[in-house]
Amino acid sequence: MPGFFDFVVSKCCRFRFNGPADLALTTKFRWLKNGIKIWLEKKKKELNSVYDYKKQLVLDLELVAQQRPLSTHEQDVRSECVALIESIDLEKQKDLRQKARVCWALDGDDNSAYFHRSWNSNPAVMKGEVFNYFVERFTEPIDDRPRIVCSDLSVLDDEEASCLVVPFSLLEIKNVVWDCQGDRSPGPDGLNFKTVLGLF
């Protein structure tokens, strides 16, 4: 930020401390840090007030432009304000990205320990790891499961078992349709089942 270097130099020149050098250095850094925080807050307030003023000025000029063409001076003022607003927005975005990077570097994310344990970009190795992952998830964990031994259970014979996979006959479909309760809630077309059956 403009003026930051001059501020730090002048701040350091005004520092006075009587005592050991190591304690003086620590105290100086803490004192300088607090001074920088106050200076930054003040500059940000000033910048925000300028930002709001320029933004309002652009809005006012756009309202004027709806009534009449802008003069050359007004166009120059608008261009200057827009350029300043865009530069401030860009700096804000950079600041947010920087803060996000610092935050991520300090805290990482919830999956850091898992995903950043190792890094390998070989496609064959990656395919192998993905394959092994799903093999482990979908492999039967027990090779020989105990069987249920119960002589009293009812068991389907082959003919009954084959009936379970036979396609529905037209008679079965018709019986199911005619057995439906037709006075239930209507469908998207506003007609219930009973009304539709009455049409045939």
pLDDT in tens, the chain (200 residues): 778 888 888 888 888 878 888 888 888 888 888 888 888 888 888 888 888 888 888 888 888 888 888 888 888 888 888 888 888 888 777 777 777 777 776 665 555 555 555 567 778 888 888 899 998 888 877 777 777 777 777 888 888 888 888 898 899 888 887 777 766 666 677 777 667 666 55
Q: Count of alpha carbons within 13 Å of 184, Cβ hemisphere only?
A: 7
Domain span at residue 11? 4-113
Compute the distance between CA of residue 42 and CA of residue 44 in angstroms, rounded to an integer: 5
Query: Model-level pTM greater than 0.95?
Result: no
| In the block, residue with structure tokens 């344990």 | 117
Single out the residue in 46, 81, 113 at which a domain terminates: 113
* pLDDT confidence of residue 171: 92
| In the block, residue with structure tokens 């802008």 | 70
Q: Say which DSSP state 185 is in.
A: -
Compute the distance between CA of residue 72 and CA of residue 90 in angstroms, rounded to an integer: 27
* pLDDT confidence of residue 176: 80
Q: Does 68 fall in a domain? A: yes
Single out the residue in 113, 146, 177 at which a domain terminates: 113
Show Cβ contacts of residue 143 under 8 Å, excluding neighbours closer than 6 positions: none
* pLDDT confidence of residue 106: 64
Contact by Cβ (8 Å): 52, 81: no
Backbone angles phi, psi at 187, to 5 degrees: -85, -170
Burial class (CB in 10 A: 0-12, 13-18, 19+), 47: middle
Residues 70 and 164 in one domain: no
Compute the distance between CA of residue 199 and CA of residue 191 in angstroms, rounded to an integer: 11
Residues 92 and 11 in one domain: yes
Compute the distance between CA of residue 7 and CA of residue 29 in angstroms, rounded to an integer: 14
Compute the distance between CA of residue 193 and CA of residue 196 in angstroms, rounded to an integer: 5
- The number of domains in the chain is 2
Residues 97 and 172 in one domain: no
Q: Does 151 fall in a domain? A: no
Single out the residue in 55, 83, 113 at which a domain terminates: 113
Q: Does 164 fall in a domain? A: yes
Compute the distance between CA of residue 113 and CA of residue 167 in angstroms, rounded to an integer: 52
Distances (CA, A) of 14 to 7, 8, 39, 41, 43: 11, 10, 15, 21, 21
Show Cβ contacts of residue 8 under 8 Å, excluding neighbours closer than 6 positions: 32, 36
Contact by Cβ (8 Å): 39, 48: no
